[in-house]
Amino acid sequence: MSTITLSKSDAAGVKTDVVVIGVVKLDGGVTLPAGTESLNAAYGGKLVEVLSALGATGKAGEVTKVPGPKPGKSATLIAVGLGSAPDGALKTEDLRTAAGIGVRAAKTAQSIAFALPTPDAECVRAVAEGALIGRYSFNAYKSEATDDVPGNLTVLTDLARSKEAKAALERAEIVADAVHQVRDWVNTPPSDLHPTEFAEHVQKLAKDHGVKVEVLDEKALAKGGYGGILGVGQGSTNPPRLIRLTYTPRKPVTHLAFVGKGITFDSGGLSLKTASGMISMKADMAGAAAVVGATIAIARLGLPVQITTYAAMAENMPSGSAARPSDVLTMYGGKTVEVLNTDAEGRLVLGDALVRASEDHPDLIVDVATLTGACVVALGTKVAGAFANSDTARDRVVDAAVIAGEAMWPLPVPSEMLDKLRSHSKVADLANITGEPWGGALAAAAFLGDFVADGIDWVHLDVAGPAFNDGGASGYTSNGGTGYSVRTLVELAASAT
């Protein structure tokens, strides 16, 4: 069992297999940040020259490995480029990323010490988060699985004995646990994680951490009139579920509601996806996984924020019982929707959940969904789209994302998109698509916004790009599920205090 600790040990004398340091880029060379003085001395004051001779430039993400000053008797040095810092200040995301890169570069080292700059507790947290999250590996289905992640981790810092640093480390551990859990869920093959199994996992996790949980099965969904969730799930032999989590601390300062899209596999239904388009569709439940993971983390941290969370779970499959294009669904709350494309299913399950979440009268609803390929076309695979019915609410979430190191870009919800959805159906209150090949992410956001009660602030995060990474591990981001938005939601709750 690996651990992470804080230590005031000297970087040159710490007993470890690997020491990770940062290298800052300068015009015409590199320099070492604070905290590496003793290491420089161990190399006879020539560490910069050694690194430069090995080709180090300080470029962000660059890795340079240096044998210990006493070969065979001292730790290997891994120098990670931090990029330029013109004002001398490094961002916490720079440190988080450097720690993640250092962990991956060290591979299976039994112990790693991080001598990265930690002038305050937030920097301690960033280094610890990067190290822990970057260490993730998913080997559950490998026949010869080995523990190919580094062992014990140590953050070297002069703040090691301060209450603030200890609290920062605890938060990093809890958040990393949540990210790892979300990644495990997203990476699990869809044959092993249907809505029922996911609900069972959540029930156990919630019980372990004192969070109340309620699960509506297909009978309860039918009785309650959840036509969107039932309509999407009716083509599968694996029935849908709606999971409700509640965390209510004493004297909460605010009430946040989280809603997550939980399509455990998305074939597109009768509007069938291409073969290649289905390959990563086990990740279509990443939004539900993220809101659940964040809720458990917030409860473990004991933050004084009331959380009500909904995970709308279904499997979207083609069969004789599947919803057909032109079918009309009666959503929870009474609105009718004509389904003109069964592959625009995420908005249907979310619509039900958003109406139900509105009934709890939260101060803010945030939904998280791998909703549209259109958002990936617009923003690429590393940036989420942030939509809202209030600029203030959207800015709160985006500001939290900046602190967490998760890229989000504000996008509009044009009123004409909702008009198009309403006019595109001749038989129902609205259609689930506009019928136009452009503005798909905006139309989806407009659809969702129509299911949020008046007077409630709402933010929609389209994480279709960054929630699943098939482009190779980088920084602290692993292959497969990334756990994207967990840290933003925790930061949002923490900032409310």
C-alpha 359 chain-centroid distance:
26
Q: Which of 127, 137, 98, 103 is nearest to 18 (CA)?
A: 103
pLDDT band at 146, cuts 50/70/90? low
What is the C-alpha to C-alpha distance for residues 388 and 456, in angstroms, rounded to an integer? Answer: 11
* Least confident span in 10-14, 338-342, 416-420, 463-467: 10-14
Is the pLDDT score of 357 beyond 60? yes
Q: What is the DSSP string of 461-475?
A: EE-TTTTEE-S--BT
Average pLDDT over residues 183-211: 97
pTM of the entire structure? 0.96
pLDDT band at 336, cuts 50/70/90? very high
- Secondary structure class of 485 (helix, strand, coil): coil
Dihedral pair phi/psi, residue 212, rounded to 5°: -75, 145
The question of whether 347 is a catalytic residue gets the answer yes
Is the pLDDT score of 436 beyond 80? yes
The two structure tokens encoding residue 361: 């009268």
Q: What is the DSSP letter of 17?
A: S
The answer to whether the CB of 83 falls within 8 A of the CB of 24 is yes
Q: Which of 91, 166, 244, 273 is catalytic?
A: 273
Question: CA gyration radius for the chain?
Answer: 24
Average pLDDT, the chain: 95
Q: What is the DSSP string of 157-205?
A: -TTTTSHHHHHHHHHHHHHHHHHHHHHHHHHS-GGG--HHHHHHHHHHH
Is the pLDDT score of 481 beyond 90? yes
Query: CB under 8 Å to 7, separation ≥6 — which residues?
Result: 14, 113, 154, 155, 156, 157, 160
What is the C-alpha to C-alpha distance for residues 260 and 189, in angstroms, rounded to an integer? Answer: 19
What is the C-alpha to C-alpha distance for residues 156 and 73, in angstroms, rounded to an integer? Answer: 20
- Position of tokens 């592959």? 343
Q: What is the DSSP letter of 345?
A: -
- Secondary structure class of 491 (helix, strand, coil): helix
**What is the number of residues in the chain?**
497
The question of whether 382 is a catalytic residue gets the answer no
- Classify burial at 338, counting beta carbons within 10 Å of its beta carbon; exposed 0-12, middle 13-18, buried 19 or more: buried
What is the reported pLDDT for 437?
A: 96
Dihedral pair phi/psi, residue 63, rounded to 5°: -120, 130
The two structure tokens encoding residue 460: 């929609």
Q: Which of 104, 125, 261, 347 is catalytic?
A: 347
